[in-house]
Each structure stands twice: as structure tokens, then as C-alpha cells.
A and B are shown apart, each in its own frame.
Chain A
Amino acid sequence: NAGVTQTPKFQVLKTGQSMTLQCAQDMNHNSMYWYRQDPGMGLRLIYYSASEGTTDKGEVPNGYNVSRLNKREFSLRLESAAPSQTSVYFCASSVGHRLSMGNQPQHFGDGTRLSIL
């Protein structure tokens, strides 16, 4: 079972470069999420998509854009990378709406370690 697949696993960028992180899930989940994880900060929600065709801002959306390409795929774009965006990025998915929220544990990808110089 693939679950949630993130690409790439590692990336180094220069300040000002752009980059898209890809995420795909094969569990027919409705909701998808992008987080960043920084030491001492836990996981902070960047953007999420409760269902196909919708996207919403999370706690730290500045400097990022997202696209819910279809039900399977949810990409995160850095238009002009900054050193403050150096982090580990996680994509996650969950069953989503029309079901009990109790059935909402998130399934996570393995993360992308992004360094911006």
C-alpha cells in the first residue's frame, strides 16, 4: 500500500528560486493537508483542502500556494523561496467530510526536507 507519497524527499534551493512539492494519496481520501515541522514548533498547518475543489489557509500560509489538482493530488508551491522556509514538509490526508469526525486520523507522507540557502 503506497498511502501518501511525497516527492521529492530532499531538496536544496537558493533564495528566490521557486519549487513545487508534490503529494498524492491512493486511499480515496477527501481531505488533504500540508504542514511544516520546525524544531520546538511542532506541526503547523500551512494549507488544507477539505474536499476536492476547495482549499483553505491554515496557521502559516504566507509565502505558499496550493493546488488541489484532483482528488488524489495536492501540491504546495513556494514562489520565491526564503531561508525562513527551511523546514521539513509533511503532506497528510484523511477520509474527510460526510463521515464521522471520529474517522479522521490523518495518514502522513514521509516528509520532504527542504533547505533554502
Chain B
Amino acid sequence: AQTVTQSQPEMSVQEAETVTLSCTYDTSESNYYLFWYKQPPSRQMILVIRQEAYKQQNATENRFSVNFQKAAKSFSLKISDSQLGDTAMYFCAFIDRTYKYIFGTGTRLKVLA
């Protein structure tokens, strides 16, 4: 069975600094997709970034980038120039050809002024 593990329940970072959130996963599939979602206090789930497993190039979306290590089954999220609005829960998620999403348990990120 596929699993997604986020080993950092809580993290904090100073405004304007860089922070990296960790995610590891386990699957026997060769083709799959990985996502990072953000859930601010408003409780809405917002897509941050996505990565296709067959693409070696790491995805980037403005201040957000990933470090995708397929052999190690690792998918970390780097947030550069952290802003107060980045304070949220961050979830790593996985989907394969069955269209069944698996989410990690989340990392609560607090950006400090």
C-alpha cells in the first residue's frame, strides 16, 4: 500500500528566511504524481505545487520549489523568502493510476515576524 510520511509535525521560520519541509513516500508504482497542498487557518485546501514522477526536473512555482529524489522516494518543499501569509498546515500528497489520493499527516508551519 502507498504511504506518505511527513516527519516534522511543526516548524517555524523567520520572515524572509528559507525553510524546507520534508516528505517521503512509499510505492511500487513507476508512474505517479506528487503534490503539496497548503491549508491556512481558513481551512481551505490550496494547491501549492505538483511534480510528475517521470520528470527529473524539479518543479518551481514562484517562491516554492521541490527537491524530488525518486530513488530515495523523497519530495521536499522549499519556501524561499517566507512571508507571514505562508503560515499554514502543509500536506504532501500522492496519486497514482488508481486516482486514489494519499495524504501525509501534515506539517504546521509558522512564519515569525
Contacts and interface: CB of A to CB of B under 8 A. Distances in A.
Given A40-B9, A42-B104, A42-B105, A105 B35 contact: yes
Contact of B91 (A42, A56, A92, A105): A42
A59 B52 CA distance: 23
Contacts of B95: 101, 104
Nearest to A31: B99
A112 to B, nearest CB: 11
Contact of A102 (B33, B45, B103): B33
Nearest to A33: B101
B64 interface: no
Contacts of A44: 103
Given A40-B105, A42-B91, A105-B47, A48 B99 contact: yes
Which size class do B's interface residues fall under?
20 to 34
Q: Which secondary structure characterizes the binding site on chain B?
A: loop
A102 B6 CA distance: 22
Given A33-B101, A105-B35, A111-B43, A42 B106 contact: yes
A27 B37 CA distance: 20
Contacts of A45: 100-103
A44 B105 CA distance: 9
A74 interface: no
Interface residues of A, number: 28
A41 B4 CA distance: 12
Contacts of B100: 45, 48, 56, 58
A73 interface: no
Interface in A1-18: none
Interface of A: 31, 33, 35, 40-45, 48, 50, 56, 58-59, 88, 90, 92, 94, 96-97, 101-102, 104-106, 108, 110-111
24 contacts: A42-B91, A42-B106, A43-B103, A45-B100, A45-B102, A50-B98, A56-B100, A58-B100, A59-B102, A90-B45, A96-B99, A97-B99, A101-B52, A102-B33, A102-B50, A104-B33, A104-B95, A105-B35, A105-B47, A106-B45, A106-B101, A108-B45, A110-B43, A111-B43
